[in-house]
Amino acid sequence: MPGTPGERQESLDVIQRELTAFARRARAAAARLHPELPLVSYTLLAHIDDRHGCRATDLAAHYMLDKSTVSRQIGALEKLGLVERHPDPNDHRIQVLHPTEAGTQALASTQASRRSAYQERLADWTADDLAGFAEYLLRYNAAGDTSTTSPQTPKA
Amino acid sequence: MPGTPGERQESLDVIQRELTAFARRARAAAARLHPELPLVSYTLLAHIDDRHGCRATDLAAHYMLDKSTVSRQIGALEKLGLVERHPDPNDHRIQVLHPTEAGTQALASTQASRRSAYQERLADWTADDLAGFAEYLLRYNAAGDTSTTSPQTPKA
DNA sequence: GGATTTCAGTTGTATAGTACAACGAGTTAG
DNA sequence: CTAACTCGTTGTACTATACAACTGAAATCC
């Protein structure tokens, strides 16, 4: 069993190094994979679709982005005809975001190509390993959500 | 048991989503953690240090960056007094890059603070889980290295 | 009910990181 | 010597981002 502190530190260093390496390549890789729908827009659109309508503020909170960033991203998506903004009848400050038909389609095709890229890349992994990796990533990201990481000290 | 194809696909989707989420947060998180030494500069500096001197072209190839990008990054590092450029006596086109004393120190302190950030974030993980996560990340990144174009030594 | 405060979103401005293209200087091949 | 190639820089442009200032709408407070 890995019980020595040294092994623990070694694992931490590997995790740090490999996550850094991944982060560095991720954007370039995503850009090459989908020149049509940039990484960030894709992510936001996916979230909007997932929630079947949400507010810009939700997106900003979830992705730890400034509201101005989200505003511009949404503007771009709207200009591309991929999302629609509907004012909330109960609260006129709020814009409820929905994917358009084109947005849903763009998302589906992007997800399909991403999916197949991941499938290919992880083709020789066992189902157990995939499940384990997925669980670790979930745990890792969840830790980030709750901890001190925030761009503008918004957390109350 | 995770034997059904559906579960496999589910894990793949989780991996895709969580890695994407991580990629989106990574830069901002790094920027917050080290306002002094931006992520990319840090990475390049680490590589220069690791190799004990290398060329800008090597960095561009290794990190899949445009040479202009590397040129500017190196320029910034030089302006900060963290790297030095020495002309290669045998080939005057080439600049051999070396970390300065300050560069080595900055790197060490950045690495230390990164390390402690990871330690804190993963404090409640068991050593087994850390080892497992590290192994998965290694495997994942190794797959990416081979699938992408340039033949490079995968990990430092 | 009106003043103040808070919330949602936009816009101006600035910065990092990146790519592509055009170029300059050095090196090598014919 | 000339041509082709290589290494690096610079001009330009674009994406993603943050922060600050602002508008408009809702909530709170007295």
Q: In this structure, is the CB of residue B71 within 7 Å of any atom belonging to strand C?
A: no
Asked if residue A111 and residue A44 are part of one domain, the reply reads yes
Is residue B107 a part of any domain in this protein?
yes
Using the structure, give the distance in angstroms from the CA atom of B74 to the C1' atom of D3, rounded to a whole number: 32
pLDDT given for residue A71 in this prediction: 96
Q: Tell me what pLDDT residue B2 has.
A: 53
Residue A8 tokens, joined: 């623990």
Question: How many degrees, rounded to 5, is the angle at CA B118 between CA B116 and CA B119?
Answer: 60
> Is B114 inside any structural domain?
yes
pLDDT of the residue at A147: 39
Alpha-carbon distances, residue A12 vs B9, B86, B117, B141 (angstroms): 28, 35, 10, 16
Which range, of A27-31, A51-55, A57-61, A71-75, averages the lowest pLDDT?
Answer: A27-31
CATH number, residue A120: 1.10.10.10
Lowest-pLDDT range, A64-73, A108-117, B53-62, B80-89?
Answer: A108-117
CA-wise closest residue to B125 among A7, A111, A130? A7
Tell me: do B16 and B28 sit in the same domain.
yes
Identify whether residues B29 and B41 lie together within a single domain.
no
Give the integer Cα–Cα distance in Å for B130 and B115. Answer: 14
**Protein CA at A66 to nucleotide C1' at C14, angstroms:** 15
Look up tokens 């120190």; give the residue.
B105
- Which bases along strand D come within 7 Å of a protein CB atom? 6-12, 15-21, 24-27
pTM (predicted TM-score)? 0.78
Mean pLDDT of A121-134: 94
Judge if B54 and B126 occupy the same domain.
Answer: yes
What torsion do the CA atoms of A54, A56, A61, A63 make, to the nearest 10 degrees? 90
pLDDT digits (tens, 9 = 90+) for A42-60: 889 999 998 988 999 999 9
Whether A57 maps to a domain, the answer reads yes
Task: Establish if A108 touches chain B: CB-CB under 8 angstroms.
Answer: no
Residue whose C-alpha is closest to residue A116's, from B147, B64, B23: B147
* Residues A55 and A25 reside in one and the same domain: no
Q: What are B80's strand-pairing partners? A: none
Which residues of chain B are under the pLDDT cut of 50?
Answer: 146-156
* Residue A146 clears pLDDT 80, i.e. is over it: no
Do the domain assignments include residue A155? no
B21 and B91 fall within a common domain: no
Judgement on whether residues A12 and A57 belong to the same structural domain of the protein: no
Same domain flag for A8 and A27: yes
Residue B150 · residue B64 · CB < 8 Å: yes
The two structure tokens encoding residue A32? 């090459």
- Whether residue B61 sits in one domain with residue B2: no
Q: Is the CB of B38 under 7 A from strand C?
A: yes
Q: Any idea which of A19-28, A104-113, A134-143, B25-34 has the lowest mean pLDDT?
A: B25-34
Q: Within a domain: residue B150?
A: no
For every residue of A55-122, DSSP letters joined together read -HHHHHHHHT--HHHHHHHHHHHHHTTSEEEEE-SS-TT-EEEEE-HHHHHHHHHHHHHHHHHHHHHT
Q: Verify that B48 and B74 share a domain, yes or no.
A: yes
CB atoms within 10 A of CB A65: 22
Identify whether the C-beta of residue A66 lies closer than 8 Å to the C-beta of residue A152: yes
Asked if residue B154 belongs to a domain, the reply is no
Number of domains in chain A: 2
Rounded mean pLDDT of A130-146? 85
Quote the domain boundaries for residue B92.
37-145
3-state secondary structure of B99: strand
Q: What share of chain B is helix, strand, coil (3-state, %, to 5)?
A: 65, 5, 25
- How far is residue B129's CA from residue A80's CA, in Å, rounded to a whole number? 43
Is A141 found in the same domain as A68? yes
B156 within a domain of the structure (yes/no): no
Q: Give the Cα separation of A45 and A43 in Å (integer).
A: 5
Q: Residue B35: helix, strand or coil by DSSP?
A: coil
pLDDT score for B153: 32
**pLDDT-based confidence at residue A155 (cuts at 50, 70, 90):** very low
Q: How would residue A20 be classed by pLDDT, with cut points 50, 70 and 90?
A: confident
Claim to verify: residue A100 and residue A115 sit in the same structural domain: yes
Tell whether B81 is covered by a domain. yes
